[in-house]
Chains A and B, each alone.
Chain A
C-alpha cells in the first residue's frame, strides 16, 4: 500500500457528510471535555459530572414533552440541579456527595417516570439524544459544540489564575478577597454546558469517561495545571480520532470505541510512569 493508499484510508469516511460531522464533533468534545475535566479530576468532582449527565436526561424528556429545544431543556436542568446541590449542602449541612446523590437520583427518577407516562410513542430521535449517537450529529449541533468550546476555553484562559487559586486553596483565596463562591459556580456552569453538548455526541453513560479519562491520563505526567490541560486535550483529541476510525473500519459503536481508546491510552501511560503522587491524585477523582 502506497502513500496515497494510506491517505485514502483516512479520507474515505469523510466523503460522507454525516461522518465528517461526527469526526469534528468527537474531536471537539474530546478537547472541551479534557479542559473542564482537568478541574473535575483535580477536585474529585467525577461524581458531579456523572450526576449532571443524568439530570440532563430529565431535562431532555421535559423538553420533548413540552416541545422546546433539547439543549434548552438539558442545560436548564443541569444548571438548576447544580445550584441545587450548592443549596442543599449549605442549608441542610449534608456532605456534597450525599447532597448530589439525593438531588440527582431524585431528578433522574423523575425523568424516567415522565418518560414512561408521557412518551407512549417512544421515538428513535429521543433515544439517540439520551444515549448519544455521534453519527446523528447535525450541523446545528456542531455549532452548539463549537460555541460551548469557545465559551469554556475563553473563560478558563481569562480566569486561569483565579480558578487556580480558588481550587488549590479556597480558604486563603477567599480571605484575600477573591469571590471563591462565584468562581466555583462558574466552573459548575462550564461543566453543565460541557456535559449537555457532550451528551448529544457520546451519550449520558460515556460523558463521564470523556470528562475524566483524558484529564486523569494527563495528571499522571503533568507538573503544572496549564500543561495538564494541554496534555489532556491531546489525549482527548487522539482518543476521538483513533476511536472514530476504529469505529468505521471495525464496525463498532463510535462512542464506545472512543472511550475504549481513551482508556487504553490511560493504561499505557500509567504503565510507563509509576509516580505515587500521580496515582493518589487519580484516586482522589473517584472519592
Chain B
C-alpha cells in the first residue's frame, strides 16, 4: 500500500534526519549585499528554538529561505531532508504589517484558510475541514468569536486567529516571526504555553523574538543572529554577556540580578512579561 509505505518512510526519516539543516547559507535580496552570510545550524524534531537578533539582522530573511521563498546564493537549506520549497507542512506566521484588517473575512474563514493548501485546486472545504478549523479555534480560545469579523478583534485576538490557522494546517514545523510583539501579556503567555505543548507532541518551532527572558526560561535552543550565526546552543551556554554584546552591539543592556537576568533594549524600550 502506497499510503503505508509513505508513512513508514516518514517515520524512518523522522528518527534519522534533522527537521532543518542549513549549510553554509549565503543569501539576500540585492546582488553583492547578502543579508545572511555563511549561516549553518540544524534543528532536531521537537525542538523549540528562539532566534534572537537586532532589527534588520536577517531573522525574517532566514524564515523566507526556510520557506523556499528565497533561493540560496550559496550553500543549502534542507527541510525534512529536502531542499526548502513552499509547502503545507510548514506553518508560517509572519509579522503583521501587510494584512488588510478591513478585509471581509470572519474568524472562522481565516482558520479555514489553513485547510486550503491541503485541499488542492477547485475543492471546497468539507465537514472534516470545518471541524479541524473549529478545533483549532478552541485551542486558542476563540471558538465563541468564530462569526466575528477580524476587523472587530483586538491585537491579541488577531494573533490568536493566525495561530489557529497555523494549527488547522496540521504542519510539522512552525515558523513564527515576532509572534508576541504588540500583543497583550495574557496572549504572550498563552502563545509560549501553546508552543511548548506543540513541541512536546513532536512538532518543531522556530520563533524570532526580542524577548530574551522568555527564551531563557522556555526555549531548548537559541540562535543568536546578526547576518551570521553568532552562537547556537542551549540558553545557558549562549546567554553570556560577550555573545549577547556581539549580537546586539550597543542596542542592549544586560543586567544580572541574583539568578535573574534582566534585559533592557534601548531601541524600542518596551518591557515584556513572560
Query: Contact residues of A with B, CB < 8 Å?
Result: 42, 158-159, 161-162, 164-165, 167-178, 219, 222-225, 227-228, 277-278, 280-281, 284
Contacts and interface: CB of A to CB of B under 8 A. Distances in A.
B100 A224 contact: no
Nearest to B95: A171
Contact of B151 (A175, A176, A277): A277
B117 A168 contact: no
A94 to B, nearest CB: 15
A159 B122 CA distance: 6
B116 A284 contact: no
Interface string B112-150: 010011010110110000000000000000000000010
7 contacts: A161-B113, A168-B113, A174-B69, A175-B67, A175-B69, A177-B86, A224-B106
A42 B103 contact: yes
A172 B88 contact: no
B79 to A, nearest CB: 12
B124 A176 contact: no
Interface of B: 67, 69, 85-88, 90-94, 98-100, 102-106, 109-110, 113, 116-117, 119, 121-122, 124-125, 149, 151-152, 165, 169
A143 to B, nearest CB: 27
A176 B86 contact: yes
Main secondary structure of the interface of B (DSSP, over half): loop
Most B Cβ at <10 Å: residue of A165, A222, A224: A165
B104 A224 contact: yes
Given A175-B92, A277-B149, A161 B119 contact: yes
Closest 8 CB pairs of A and B: A176-B117, A281-B102, A175-B92, A177-B86, A277-B151, A175-B67, A177-B87, A165-B113
Contacts of A165: 113, 116
A165 B110 CA distance: 9
Contacts of A225: 103-105
Given A158-B122, A173-B113, 18 more contacts: A161-B125, A168-B99, A168-B100, A168-B110, A172-B92, A175-B90, A175-B92, A176-B87, A176-B91, A176-B92, A177-B88, A178-B86, A178-B116, A223-B104, A223-B106, A223-B149, A224-B106, A225-B105
Q: Which of A168, A174, A176, A284 has the most CB of B within 10 A?
A: A176
Interface centre among A158, A168, A169, A228 (most CB of B within 10 A): A169
In this complex, which of B85, B91, B99, B102 has the most chain A Cβ atoms within 10 angstroms of its Cβ? Answer: B102
A87 B146 CA distance: 40
A281 B105 CA distance: 13
Nearest to A224: B104
Contacts of A223: 104, 106, 149
A21 B125 CA distance: 40
A284 B100 contact: yes
A170 B97 CA distance: 12
A157 to B, nearest CB: 10
Looking at B86, B90, B106, the one whose CB has the most chain A CB atoms below 10 A away is B86
Contacts of B104: 42, 219, 222-225, 227-228, 281
A222 B116 CA distance: 23
A169 B113 contact: yes
B226 to A, nearest CB: 24
Contacts of A219: 104
A178 B85 CA distance: 11
A171 B98 contact: yes
Nearest to B101: A277
Nearest to A178: B117
B105 A224 contact: yes
A284 B151 CA distance: 14
Contacts of A171: 92, 94, 98
Contacts of A42: 100, 103-104
Among A161, A170, A222, A278, the one with the most B-chain Cβ atoms within 10 Å of its Cβ is: A161
A277 B102 contact: yes
Contacts of B151: 277
Contacts of B88: 176-177
Nearest to B124: A161
